[in-house]
A and B are shown apart, each in its own frame.
Chain A
Amino acid sequence: MAGVPEAATGHAEAHAHHPPYLQHHFVSAEQQFDAAKLGMWLFLVTEILLFSGMFVAYAVYRVWHPEVFQAASKLLDWRLGGLNTIVLLTSSFTVALAVHYAQLGDKKRLVQNLWLTVALAGVFMVVKYFEYSEKFHHHIFPGGNYAYEGLQLPYVGQFFSIYFVMTGIHGLHVLVGMGVLTWVALKAQRGVFSSEYYTPVEISALYWHLVDIIWIFLFPLLYLIH
């Protein structure tokens, strides 16, 4: 920056004012924001493809053994799954509110909504914990380890492999989301964000919506087979 006195040609690089959040290699705050957002969208694409492998496995085994999937699905508790769906949908709403208040520069409500989202994610995990432990209690394990007396069919293990792998990986995403949102909430409390700069809020909210959407697919596909 120094040493180029005649720097003020055409485009904006004569940093008259240089906001603290603007990293040196970006020309403007908009560029930085757009880059972060595009990066997050691309990351979400990779997430969808990660899950797509599992969805394909699901489709293959369901087409081959529809009756097994139907019977095995009955062992899942649709009420708990439904509850979790509502919980996650609500959390998507609260995180959207967080972005909204970030844009308005309303720090108090921003922080509130972020913590609310983290709390709802916690509720989701607690419900999942009860679901899992109930399954383990009945020796409902994935694949070759499946040993539940109440339902013995060939390939029923595959259903539960898919169930545990998909919901397990989804659950990991929820945990990661809780971590990220907590970090953002702490930053928000310190007053880092303003209506000019709220990129981390926006992109973590995008991530959180994806976690939510994936569950929206998992729930009917696993719990509601008739």
Chain B
Amino acid sequence: MAGDFTRTLDMGAQKRSIWQSLHIDLPLLVLLLMLMSTSLFVLYSASGENLSMVYRQMVYFGLGLFIMFVVAQFHPLWFQMFAPWAFTAVVIALLLVLLVGVGAKGAQRWLSVFGLFRFQPSELMKLVMPMMVAWYLASKLLPPSFKHIVVTLLIVFIPTFLVMRQPDLGTSLLIAAAGLLVLLFAGLSWRYILGAAGAALVIFPMMWLFVMHDYQKQRVLTFLDPESDPLGAGWNIIQSKTAIGSGGIEGKGYLEGTQSQLEFLPERHTDFIIAVFAEEQGLIGVVLLLLLYGAIVMRGLYMASRGRDTFDRLFAGALIVTFFIYVFVNIGMVSGILPVVGVPLPLISYGGTSIVTLMAAFGVIMSVYMHRRV
């Protein structure tokens, strides 16, 4: 093993480029920078030409790139070693959130650290969850046995449940998805997948009847028929669909989107930013953006599959697919094919937390790929 490792370094030394020594994948970096430029471009319009918001977003991107760079320098073995400790720590933090957390609008999502700053442990769990499951399954025979599947589900369930209690349904589902994706990449048998899908069909009506709060039911109903509450929850969807639809093929032109410029669109610089983009750039712009996201996901999957070992592949694979789920859920919600859950559009929406978490994930993917065996 040690010899292998040394040889790799020797071989690498001969054709090592500057990017390799920095552990940065140039194609992925270029794609991410394209996405970031798009974000700044759209944000200027979506914020009502608010330059200071654009500058702040640039600072977040700079911070994100720095974090990605730092994370990429860690050898994946470090992640593997720290996985159980990190997981335990974040679960404890989630418990603390429920006990002593601070919050707003009826939800408790933050921990205040000595009153100096606040942080949201559920954001960290988005990274730690696939890391933990990958750590667990990497030591087992794959495809996983029933027993291991049950243990995995338990690992997934605990933080999911804690986040759901905050309550933050959207984030908890995405955390669960990140964990389950690892299981999928580990070769979960189709029997179980189909079985789970069947169970979901049974469970949903039960949840509807016995578990869901009225406001949650209302949200689902509003999704099914936004016109039923045109000034309330339906307003957002009606306005964002109107923005998108009225963009047509070519769009209304940069800074010309009447829906967004005239403030009909809610949360137009955060969760609903794609509607601004779709209104102003039209179908052509949206398809180009989707292609950019597709390219990032494909590059990410390729990099994950080149991972050093099972842990690396599972961890990186789950992260990149989670990234795509964010994209799908956000655009699906804004365009009215999914219910409204608070999910930002990755690396386009305004906001530092999401950018830092996502860039840390890309740091992991880069680490996995750049520290691979050649």
Please say whether chains A and B are actual partners in one complex: no
Binding site for A on B (CB under 8 A): none
Binding site for B on A (CB under 8 A): none
